[in-house]
Structure 1
Amino acid sequence: MTRWLVGVVGAAVAVGVVTGCDVPPAPAAAPGPSVVRPPAPTVAASPPATSAPASPPADPAPACPEGGVRLLEGAGDSAMGLRVADVRLVNCGTQPYALEGYPEIRLLDRKRAPVEVAVVHGADGITSAPTGVEGVPQKVELRPGQAASLALVWRNLVTDSTVPAAEGWVLEVTPRAGAPRVELELRHSVDLGNTGRLGISPWKATAR
């Protein structure tokens, strides 16, 4: 009886061992859900800082003409065909500049051809009204930067339809005897009609 029980138990243990070898291992745990992270946003590199463009240099002052003076077109006036204009002569040089009496005047048209005109001292034959061209010639000395003025008077009048009207757009001035001629391109023409007469004043000292 005892041998039988021992045999049974031994057989059972043997069967258990054999049976245990045939049992498959427990399945591995299923992997958890994958976490997919979006890629970090790409930060664009800032462009290199650039300095603001430099302002263009101011236009240099025009060079002083050979004679040391330049002409400037001044104010003008007109009424009932009577024209009055002012021209200034500025000492742009480094030495004093002396004037006396009347300058020599010449008018040119748009094509720079001479305009036929009689230049008279004062307003004789043009008007009897005061216009600023009157005055006694006197010596005027301009220090550097100072100016003298010259008044012009004429009539815009057409008295003969067969004679072309004259119009001056360039003023050539010889300020004093022997001096280089100075040229001024006018913004407002000397519209003489066909009167052919231009009155001028002597040089007068004036503020620049």
Structure 2
Amino acid sequence: MPRPAPLHPTLARTVPFLSALAATALLLTACGTERTGAGNAGATTAEPSSRTQVDDPGKDGVRITSLTLPSVSPAPTRSTSVSAESLPGDSGISATYEVTNKGTETLTYSVVFTFMSADGGAMANQTATVRDVGPGKTVRGAVRAGELPPSTPRVTQAKVLEVHKVPSSEAPAAAGTCPASGIRVTADQGDAAMGLRVVGLRLDNCGKRDYGVDGHPLLELLGDDLKHVNGIKILDGGGEITPGSVDDKQPGPVTLRPGESATASLVWRNTTEFGTPVNVPYVRVRAKAGADPVIVTPNLDLGTTGKLGVTAWQKDED
């Protein structure tokens, strides 16, 4: 079998909790089970690899079922054939997983997997988004660790680090798709510095008509059970949280033509003093009153501050 043409390697980001590379592409199979795969069919073998079954209790309906490792530590420029069909330049390390929806509504999952060394240190985190898992259904897929620097300790294990699941009807749209509303709302990975947290919200007009907003996004804070979280004051603007540290312009009407975007920011501090710290994993966002809701997962570690600031929508400059 001919060796595939080499692709430009991409360095896998090794950050805690949130990184982004996902295995998608769902394929319906028999017995009510779906499968999602990742990789490039036709990859050839450059080094022997071993696949080990994993007895993993998992987390929130997600568990790892097997781990594939090269027999020796791979050089970052070599291609290794694995169960996930690795790409040239890939480390050859992968894990297969399954997601089982034990609930009563169709859910979309965002799962962070961590690949670890023998001492438990995280060598790479990867995120997989598994969409539209029906009640009682199981979806199987694979996720690769990606390319690792040559000095990375040998990976020997993997686990499910974090699971977010939201009703598919309120999940952010997949990249490259446009909801029926013509409006796409997403959140970025955020920024943190000396206790200050900032997460950006983005509003894209991917439809065919102009779309207008005026003022601040409408927010509802949700706990792990997707129930309303009480006791947090949502402030218009970020000035009370961090005066002068965010682009906190006055609210006003914004009209987005097709293809145009606007942004806003969630701003908070994770200061912890007296009381019980509050963590809010989910935020239900409406671009304006009457707009379709979208649930994003910024993981607000609000400490004991009891405050969250949100800036007004501002049109992106060309």
Instruction: Give TM-score scaled by structure 2 length.
Output: 0.42
Contact 1:71 1:183 in 2 (8 A): no
- Match of residue 72 from structure 1: 186
**Pair 1:204-2:314 in alignment:** yes
Larger-Rg structure: 1
Aligned partner (choices 110, 128, 134) of residue 224 of structure 2: 110
1:53-90 residue CA offsets vs partner (Å, 9 max, x unmatched): 789xxxx8565334321222225222221112211011
**Counterparts of 1:72 and 1:104, CA distance in 2:** 14
Asked if the contact 1:115–1:166 (Cα under 8 Å) also holds between the matched residues in 2, the reply is: no
Kindly report the root-mean-square deviation, in angstroms, between the aligned alpha carbons of the 2 structures. Answer: 2.8
The reply to whether residue 119 of structure 1 matches residue 234 of structure 2 is: yes
**What per-residue deviation string (whole Å, max 9, x for no partner) do you get for residues 39-62 of structure 1?**
xxxxxxxxxxxxx9789xxxx856
- Residue in 1 aligned with 2:282? 170
Aligned pairs for 1:13-162 (under 5 A) are 63-74=177-188, 76-116=190-230, 117-132=232-247, 134-161=248-275
> Closer, same or farther in 2 for the Cα pair 1:66/1:159, shift >3 Å?
farther
Displacement of 1:95: 1.4
Q: 1:145 and 1:185, CA in 2 relative to 1: closer, same or farther beyond 3 A?
A: farther
Q: Secondary structure at the match of 1:83?
A: strand
Matched-pair contact (CA < 8 Å) for 1:66–1:180:
no
- The C-alpha deviation readout for 1:96-134, integer Å capped at 9, x for no partner, is 1111111211121222122232110122432224222x1
What amino acid is the match of 1:108?
L
Structure 1 residues 62 and 109, CA gap change in structure 2 (3 angstroms): farther
Q: Gaps spanning 5+ residues in structure 2: where? A: 5-40, 44-173
Residues 146-155 or 85-94, more deviating: 85-94
Give distance in 2, aligned partners of 1:110 and 1:193: 16
Residue in structure 1 matching 2:293, options 149, 173, 181: 181
CA contact (8 A) 1:167 1:192 kept: yes
Q: Distance in 1 between matches of 2:179 and 2:278?
A: 28
Contiguous gaps of at least 5 residues in structure 1: 1-51
Whose RCO is larger (CA < 8 A, sep 6+)?
1
Number of aligned residue pairs: give it.
Answer: 151
Letter in 1 for 2:212: A
Amino acid of the structure 1 residue aligned with 2:243: S
1:195 partnered with 2:309: no
**Runs of 4+ off more than 4 Å:** 52-55, 60-63
Identity %: 35
**Higher helix residue share:** 1
Q: Which residue type is aligned with residue 197 of structure 1? A: K
1:136-155 alpha-carbon deviations (Å, 9 max, x no partner) = 11221112222110111101
* Equivalent position SS for 1:123: coil
